Structure 1
């Protein structure tokens, strides 16, 4: 808990330092959602004002981004010198398919590396992401956050920061339906589509669990290639 008697400005700076360190240590992997304001207030014993000022510090440092109606997400600093894909570069169906082609090359190898390097903790987090994805389907939700989290956990399991940073630079917009059809849709067709995605995720997870490099590579390629074909066939429609 932070010392409550200190000035608000000092508390917010200390809180920003603590949260920033968690982002750098991958406790909050870049691209994932930060805890809710109330959760941070309870953990550190600070006011809502302190939390909001701390988040502002992180935003100014390029380590957080608030998306209205969704939440605040961890980011890498803008001046890191790494390749970036800006939102206006993936605003159309054609752009999204092009990005998937890039992902096929990179994430296929990430899955293969994860199969050789994953830890028990990595597996546990992947399983939690799968469970969250299934729960989202059952609730009639779009499962975008859980989907992105699963792919992020694979990147983390490579133990290679470049794969982690690649996913962080893209964020949840790497999931096509987060942009092309972002609304929740409980229709049978959407539910069936998400069930197929879930099964593909499970195939990747099982290959990584079994440390089967070839199977992990193949399952990841199949999943991302299927995503590309589903886009082309119009299962995810551009608005």
Structure 2
């Protein structure tokens, strides 16, 4: 069962990961790639070597799916929760059903839990043993989410990690770190920015970033959105 941790950490749980996330480790502690990952990387190398695939284009495609296509689904969920009280309550009570009602289903999203940021509590998500991630609402996990430094520091030093992402929270704000597993994945519902009263779901969705739904970032404010356009 997944666990939630406050600022301090006493971690203990058993991940029931499927084969896709079943990474073993060598004697030096490095990750040993699965057979599927090795085949994918070998195929990618061959296609690049023969000139069938442009590495830059491949990287751009992955980056687009990581930061735009996938997170667009989650932004829709968040925007609806911000603007529809009934949907908000449903999301907090049964995130899996609420998310599925919008058509976002599939592997890695079978068992979802939504955790809400408030002025008193900030939530952040990690998978300490590998990279369990809610693909249907967030797309591919970013490289840093899978990296050992994030997986360890997010639990031991969440404020330090947030600072690395440019987020500084008030000292009295509690930070809860949620550890995803193959059984349960989390979606952070960020705080709705001030000054957005009366905005449509489409407008609100533009304020939602991938990192704000992981908890390593905050939703954009209206001035930030204007500056980005």
Higher relative strand content: 2
Give the helix-richer structure, 1 or 2. Answer: 1
| Relative contact order, higher structure (CA 8 A, sep 6+) | 2
